Amino acid sequence: MSVFKGIALITGSAQGIGRGVALRLARDGFDIALNDVPNKGTQLESVATEIQSLGRRVCVVPADVSANEQVKEMVDGAVTKLGGLDVMIANAGVVAAPGSLLSSTVETWDHIFSVNARGAYLCYKYAAMQMVEQGRGGRIIGASSVSGKFGFHSLCAYSATKFAVRGLTQVAALELGKHGITVNAYAPGMIQTPMTQNAIDRSNNQTTEGVLGDRESSKWATSIMENVPIKHLGQPADVASIVSYLASKEAHFITGQCISVDGGMCMS
């Protein structure tokens, strides 16, 4: 596959999908800027060591993606250390324990939106500013979800943020196409990551109060998988392969799309 052989910045890359994407793009020939929150420094350094072993340049740019100045400094830091920015992967995100519209709190809503939606907006914005200034085009790729394609019961705030990423992606694609910058998103289903496992564990250990007062099990992971054609969890590498293609030269005519990687959970 023909790739840019440029510089890629991946947020939320200390573990899970972000780590898988970072390693895949390094194998594709990109130099890599790794990001996650500052308290994941040890994990980031471990990923950096793996990337160095692949013969690629790498730097670590810790930041909270919900903080405007930190995201700007993150992009500036990657550019200073590696010499530019060609691919932005706005992967960082959080998921809360399942919560319905009626049971969710404003605090939970604001927290999830600050990372998943505001974080994606800030990453898109500052990456686009850098790419436009460079004048050599680029790729911006964000993390939506299957729950950003249709609403999931008891995932009120999370689902709303992932719909927001799809809308942001389409608007950014319209605005940035004239600069040679494509903007797309990926929509994973159930992927085997620490964050997914944590959400499954929490949901399996709680019961929710129904609207009519009946108590129903919150073991939603099992019920979700019942109707999926491919009966196993996906792996970070499955998502990384889609990102690898979207970051390649071959994907120059694809923009504004949100591509499902979900075992057939959402068919369109």
162 an active-site residue? yes
* Segment (H or E) for 157: helix 156-176
Name the catalytic one among 40, 126, 162, 186: 162
Give residue 116's identity as a one-letter amino acid code: N
Give me 106's structure tokens.
């404003």
Strand-pairing partners, residue 141, are 89, 184
Give me 151's structure tokens. 């609403």
Q: Compute how many other C-beta atoms are within 10 angstroms of the C-beta atom of residue 64.
A: 19
From 126, 158, 219, 249, active-site residue: 158
Which residue's structure tokens are 């809308």? 167
Q: Collapsing DSSP states into helix, strand and coil, what is residue 142?
A: strand
Structure tokens at 179: 């600069």
Residue 231 appears among annotated catalytic residues: no
Q: How far apart are CA 53 and CA 193, in angstroms?
A: 23
Active site residues: 158, 162
